[in-house]
Amino acid sequence: MSNYLGNYSLYIALIASVYLIFKSYLDANSENKYLDKNFILITSIQTIMITVSFFSLVAAFVISDFSNETVFNNSHTLKPLFYKVSGTWGNHEGSLLLWLLVLSIFLFIFLLNSRSQDTKYKLLTILFQQIIISGFLVFILLTSNPFKTLYPIPTEGLGLNPILQDPALAIHPPILYLGYVGTSIIFSASLASMISGNIGDKWARHIKKWVLVSWVFLTIGILLGSIWAYYELGWGGFWFWDPVENVSLMPWFCLTALLHTVIVLQKRNSFKEWTIILSITTFSLSMSGTFLVRSGILNSIHTFANDPSRGLYILSFLFILILMSILIFFFNQNKISNTAKENFILSKETAILVNNWFMMFFLSVVLVGTIYPIFLEVLNGSKISVGPPFYHKLLIPFLIPFLISMSFGPSLKWIKDKLKKFNYNILIIFFVSLLISYVILTKTENSFLLSLPLIVLSIYLLLVTIKDFFVSKSSISQKISHFGFSLLITSILLNGLFSNEFNSNMKVGDERIFNEKVLKLKEVNVTDVDNYKSLKASFEVTNKNSAFALYPEVRIYQQPLTITSEADIKTTLFSDNFLVFNILKDDGYYNVRYQYKPLMIWIWISTIFISLGGLLSVIRKNEQKY
């Protein structure tokens, strides 16, 4: 029943899409002053149809309707309800349906929110957005229909990968998708504004909300994925430079650049072409992200659905969209009214250009590092791996000029600033950060000269952004985000410098001594829980003046047979103690890995600060003028 409902509502949505494409194309060429009421009506019908389709898939998962192939492949009656629901988007077909749902809801909200905009601009935005929607609808119906039926109906499903049964991962894809899909509105709107010739400060104010919304969701989405990787994969890292992680980071760099550029467009009516190019690039990166993940050409743990024909479809679709936007860009370039102003070297405009410069560099490193191995393999068959050392070597040195420019860029004035008289506050802050860094670095055995500039600058930037809360006139949202960013960099650097770990094979009763700590494996309890067998170990860590217990776990799932390690993490404001163990083949021995990770929680908190700044900017009604 739900299969038919879900399937046919997708067809109705496709008909609505085709109608809207033609109608908006025809209307955009006539000189209608008002938007035909049918647009809102048909768009709401389409949104409702896609919503119905999505929820009929959710329903099929909840009631474990194994006549549905997607449910059969990805669910199991023994699974807790929460993971049955999240199983809806934990697979290829369902996640695409979610993409589609967000696409149509965003277009609907866009229509409701842009009543005051020019009619032609709105029509063209509908046109481009519907082209994307119809592309996804056809893709789903042709290659990845989530409503394929099975007969005879199986009595039990194949289950979901237990690694993916996790609260952070359950909400990670929807949040990330909100960010990805938000960039589609920016893409459609910027192409529309290019053709209708309304790109300028007013348009910037209108589109800025969408940039901010997408950016906030993307940031939180990346954060959730990272938190999941930290405690679920059991390796104790939070970023692995895995291709699938990179794919979400790339649009983030681009969107961050756009976020800054759009402010210049709003305040100075400048950088018009660049804003359009960034909008197109951001969306292309989000789309190719979907392509890279879904096609399975990336060798990665995240690729739980592999099918080359699907990748080929997304690739051609992406190619058409990019070609279309390039053509539109070149044929309409003359419509951009030339309001470009002279840029002075000491000005906020230049500072934002420098921000964009670095963002584009970071983007290019990650982009080249992610796709180069694929191209190389296709071209001459040689297989190379591009991992953390590559990214660290290329990115870290560039953090130094980046942090310097970030420390004074935001305080520059628009148009033209003068070199001020020497500011003693800055000098004091610099010496304070030098002193703090010196004290910190004497406590590590790592090479001094190399880490010193990075630590000094990150602490310096941190202090400057704190000072700005009291001194600077810029908006509170910017202060919070910049503070969050400097806190993030500082935490990551110190975390990298002071993390240490200990690896050993132990059996029950064993004690190991390391770094003035004693680690004892007291016991291992075996129990049967719902759908897995649990081995819960009890460890005791004794410090000079304190002792605490850690209870990591190994789970053996039967459907399908998978062994996962659940780390136990003791989190304090200063550090995380991370303990994970694995079963070894030698009887009675376990491989134990203990990690001490300072300031771990601040990596998460600072990212929350970063997105909080963006969120504040979205909900604030009256923008501060400065």
Partner 1 sequence: MPKIIKLVFLLYFCFNFSYAKGINTKVEQITKNLRCLICQGQSVYDSQSDFAISMKLVVKNMIDEGKKEKEIYDYLKSKYGEWIVYEPELNQNTFLLWLLPLILFIFGGLLIIRKVSIK
Binding residues (CB under 8 A) for partner 1: these are 235, 240, 242, 299-301, 303, 342-345, 350, 353-354, 357, 360-361, 364-365, 368-369, 372, 376, 380, 382-390, 392-394, 396-398, 400-401, 446-447, 450-451, 496-501, 503, 582, 584, 591
Looking at the Cβ atoms of 446 and 572, the one nearer to partner 1 is: 446
Looking at the Cβ atoms of 388 and 509, the one nearer to partner 1 is: 388
CA proximity to 116, closest of 222, 35, 9, 212: 35
Q: How far is the CB of 617 from partner 1 (least distance, A)?
A: 26
**DSSP bridge pairs for 565:** 554
Show Cβ contacts of residue 359 under 8 Å, excluding neighbours closer than 6 positions. Answer: 253, 254, 256, 257
Burial 54-70 (b: 16+ CB within 10 A, else e): bbbbbbbbbebbbbbbb
Distance, in Å, from the CA atom of 602 to the CA atom of 612, rounded to the nearest integer, reads 15
Q: How far is the CB of 418 from partner 1 (least distance, A)?
A: 11
Q: How far is the CB of 182 from partner 1 (least distance, A)?
A: 26
Crossing angle of the two packed helices 167-196 and 243-268, in degrees rounded to 10: 40
Distance, in Å, from the CA atom of 576 to the CA atom of 428, rounded to the nearest integer, reads 33
Annotate 80-138 with DSSP letters as a single string: -HHHHHHTTSSSHHHHHHHHHHHHHHHHHHHHHH-TTS-HHHHHHHHHHHHHHHHHHHH
Q: How far is the CB of 540 from partner 1 (least distance, A)?
A: 22
Q: How far is the CB of 587 from partner 1 (least distance, A)?
A: 16
Distance, in Å, from the CA atom of 594 to the CA atom of 125, rounded to the nearest integer, reads 53
First-to-final CA distance of the chain: 59
Alpha carbon separation from 507 to 520, 583, 590 (Å, rounded): 10, 10, 6
Q: How far is the CB of 566 from partner 1 (least distance, A)?
A: 15
Looking at the Cβ atoms of 329 and 390, the one nearer to partner 1 is: 390
What stretches of 465-574 adopt beta strand conformation (E)? 500-506, 511-514, 517-529, 532-542, 547-550, 553-557, 562-566, 568-571
Q: How far is the CB of 403 from partner 1 (least distance, A)?
A: 13
CA proximity to 557, closest of 567, 549, 565: 565
Looking at the Cβ atoms of 200 and 237, the one nearer to partner 1 is: 237
Q: Is 464 left (phi over 0), alpha (psi -120 to 50) or beta?
A: alpha
Distance, in Å, from the CA atom of 18 to the CA atom of 14, rounded to the nearest integer, reads 6
Looking at the Cβ atoms of 69 and 510, the one nearer to partner 1 is: 510
Show Cβ contacts of residue 469 under 8 Å, excluding neighbours closer than 6 positions. Answer: 479, 483
Looking at the Cβ atoms of 131 and 366, the one nearer to partner 1 is: 366
Looking at the Cβ atoms of 239 and 329, the one nearer to partner 1 is: 239
Q: How far is the CB of 293 from partner 1 (least distance, A)?
A: 13
C-beta neighbour count of 286 within 10 angstroms: 30
For β-strands 532-542 and 590-598, DSSP reports them as unpaired
Looking at the Cβ atoms of 368 and 466, the one nearer to partner 1 is: 368
Looking at the Cβ atoms of 6 and 289, the one nearer to partner 1 is: 289
Q: How far is the CB of 229 from partner 1 (least distance, A)?
A: 10
Residue type present at position 447? S
Looking at the Cβ atoms of 382 and 545, the one nearer to partner 1 is: 382
Q: How far is the CB of 85 from partner 1 (least distance, A)?
A: 26
Looking at the Cβ atoms of 100 and 363, the one nearer to partner 1 is: 363
Q: How far is the CB of 233 from partner 1 (least distance, A)?
A: 8
Looking at the Cβ atoms of 150 and 244, the one nearer to partner 1 is: 244
Q: How far is the CB of 349 from partner 1 (least distance, A)?
A: 8
Distance, in Å, from the CA atom of 493 to the CA atom of 466, rounded to the nearest integer, reads 19
